[in-house]
Chain A
Amino acid sequence: MDIEHVAKLARLKLTDAEKEKFSKQMGTIIEYIEKLNELDTKNVEPTAHVLGLNNVFREDAATQPLTDQDPIKDSPAHSKGHYEVPKII
């Protein structure tokens, strides 16, 4: 398990001690999941969803969102109705 790669994808900065600790922990998790490979699943349908539900839809009708809060005002920084973020170009 490449802990540095995973940390980078999650935008996390890890200390060397953390890297070692998480590397071990994640290794244990993966080992545990890999137990599943010991089973013969040839005749088992892949699970699409744990609920066993299909086809839940919405009608295409516009409604006002149910909120009395203005998310723009709650955001850390904004200007003229836009959310402000670090410069991306």
Chain B
Amino acid sequence: MKYETVIGLEVHVQINTKTKIFCSCSTEFGMPPNANTCPICLGMPGVLPVLNKQFLESAMKACLATHCTIAPMNRFARKNYFYPDLPKGYQISQFEEPLGINGYININIDGTKKRIGLTRIHMEEDAGKLIHGENLGSPGKSYVDFNRTGVPLCEVVSEPDLRSAQEARAYLGELKSILQYAEVSDCNMEEGSLRCDANISLRPEGQKEFGTRTELKNLNSFKFVQKAIEYEVDRQTRILEQGDKVIQETRLYDSDKGETFSMRSKEEAHDYRYFPDPDLVPVVLEEAWVEEIKKTIPELPEQKRERFAKEYGLPEYDAGVLTSSRELADYFEKCTSLFAKPKIISNWIMGDLLRELNKSNQEIGECPLSPEALVNLLKLIDEGVISGNIAKSVFEEMYQTGKEASVIVEEKGLKQITDDKAIDEMVEGVLQANPSQVEEYKGGKEKVLGFLVGQVMKTSKGKANPGAVNKLLKEKISKM
């Protein structure tokens, strides 16, 4: 039997703020343990949480950027459970009245656009960090760092619209990109500012009802999201094909083994007993305020992608790569404003520039090469001063040393030979040195011409113009 995969993702995103959601403790990453804590986030008796306005506005921005409808009235609820990373014995979250509902994100799968629905986006506080292990004291104990407790999060819940691990990964990539464009989150998976849980089930193709799902928790990299889902789909397929039943449970992904395993310890049925948090007053969002926030949303990745394809005549693939981050898109557009050959610029950015950045594990923001410097190099090729091949090595040196293209070309004498006499002599020399190849070419083996051009380029140390050499060779052979 053929099975259809059904996936829904729950993504927790840390929203950029200076302070926590309900208290004035800093959210700075990498502080000593428990340095960013106070009576409020430690859940001491008698304290009063007060909502961070900046967080609320950024969360609204996240909702609007993903086409969610903002609820005119919002409340916070207590989600009750005991766990040592949760000092109050409850997490302040939203339940019946989330901030945003009914949104969507468009993803691109093999050139086809697909709309993925968002059930809701709600506001909540993060929990602390548990550390197990002996280097903090006793191997028989666990240790708690509450610095993350109360860090503001948005939970983004998708509809079960995803049909493969590839779609899940694309969705996560698009969501990340939107939130980064909107400047509401860094979405840094290593620092835990973007975390993902996946609900996965299979059903016979054509069946309407969902199958039994498992929940994969704490997928903390893009690669793991895809691998863990792929593994889980295989596992469930095997179970169903044997005629067995999938057990509804929470599973974790072991990235070393590449397997998912059951998290049995938490299997007791949850009963969170949500109720409105009496410490926090309702949030009323007037239309005017929502409109105000809407105005702060910049051009988003999808719009930019479409504009790049249309305005610059770029292939969809190029537009996708160039708009993968706002900084990269800005870099590209700065280049095109200086040099109106977008496809050439795109090729250099996607090829040489991104390769160098990847090599040194840098982001475009850290790129040592300014758009002006890159464009100056491209102009040298365009004007015929250097060949495209030479330009590659000039580029590498510019990247390493930060020198201007023209300076490197001058210093190393890399200018294309425009002296016709000099090229003529080189061509003559190559023809004389390779009589048998010349005969082969005359006999109809046209491929040999490439070899001869190569020989001339070698003699000129790459400084001859290959087009001119090609033409000259043909002329000379035809006269032989």
Q: Contact residues of A with B, CB < 8 Å?
A: 5, 9, 11, 48-51, 53-63, 65-67, 71-72, 77, 79-89
Contact = CB atoms under 8 A, between A and B. Distances in A.
B284 A85 contact: no
A5 to B, nearest CB: 7
Contacts of B83: 88
- List 5 A-B pairs, minimum CB-CB distance, nearest first: A65-B38, A79-B137, A60-B54, A82-B143, A57-B53
A44 to B, nearest CB: 16
Given A81-B32, A85-B84, A58 B132 contact: no
A36 B449 CA distance: 95
Given A5-B271, A65-B39, A85-B84, A59 B137 contact: no
A86 B54 CA distance: 37
A2 to B, nearest CB: 10
Contacts of A79: 136-138, 141, 143
Contacts of B265: 89
Given A55-B283, A60-B19, A71-B37, A85 B144 contact: yes
A86 B23 CA distance: 28
Nearest to B152: A60
Given A86-B84, A89-B142, 15 more contacts: A9-B80, A49-B278, A56-B51, A58-B51, A60-B19, A60-B52, A65-B23, A67-B38, A67-B39, A71-B44, A72-B34, A81-B33, A83-B144, A84-B138, A89-B265
Interface in B67-112: 73, 75, 80, 82-84
Contact of A62 (B26, B44, B55, B137): B26
Contacts of A11: 82
Nearest to A53: B281
Interface in B124-150: 130-132, 136-138, 140-146
Nearest to B284: A54
Interface of B: 17-19, 22-26, 32-35, 37-40, 42, 44, 50-56, 73, 75, 80, 82-84, 130-132, 136-138, 140-146, 265, 271, 273, 276, 278, 281-284
Contact of A86 (B19, B42, B142, B282): B142
Contact of A85 (B37, B53, B141): B141
A60 B53 contact: yes
Taking each of B56, B73, B130, which has the highest tally of chain A beta carbons within 10 Å of its own beta carbon? Answer: B130
Given A62-B25, A88-B130, A82 B54 contact: no
B55 A82 contact: no
Contacts of A58: 19, 22, 24, 50-53
A38 B34 CA distance: 50
A14 to B, nearest CB: 17
A67 B35 CA distance: 13
A78 to B, nearest CB: 8
Contacts of B55: 60
Contacts of B84: 83, 85-86, 88
B53 A59 contact: yes
B142 A85 contact: yes
Taking each of B33, B82, B146, which has the highest tally of chain A beta carbons within 10 Å of its own beta carbon? Answer: B33
Taking each of A57, A58, A85, A87, which has the highest tally of chain B beta carbons within 10 Å of its own beta carbon? Answer: A58
Contact of A80 (B80, B132, B137): B137
B34 to A, nearest CB: 6
A57 B52 contact: yes
B115 to A, nearest CB: 33
A56 B281 contact: yes
A7 B456 CA distance: 89
B143 A85 contact: yes
Contacts of B19: 58, 60-62
A82 B145 contact: yes
Nearest to A9: B271
B75 A48 contact: yes
Contacts of A57: 50-53, 56
A62 B37 CA distance: 11
Contacts of A53: 281
A63 to B, nearest CB: 4
Contact of B34 (A5, A66, A83): A83
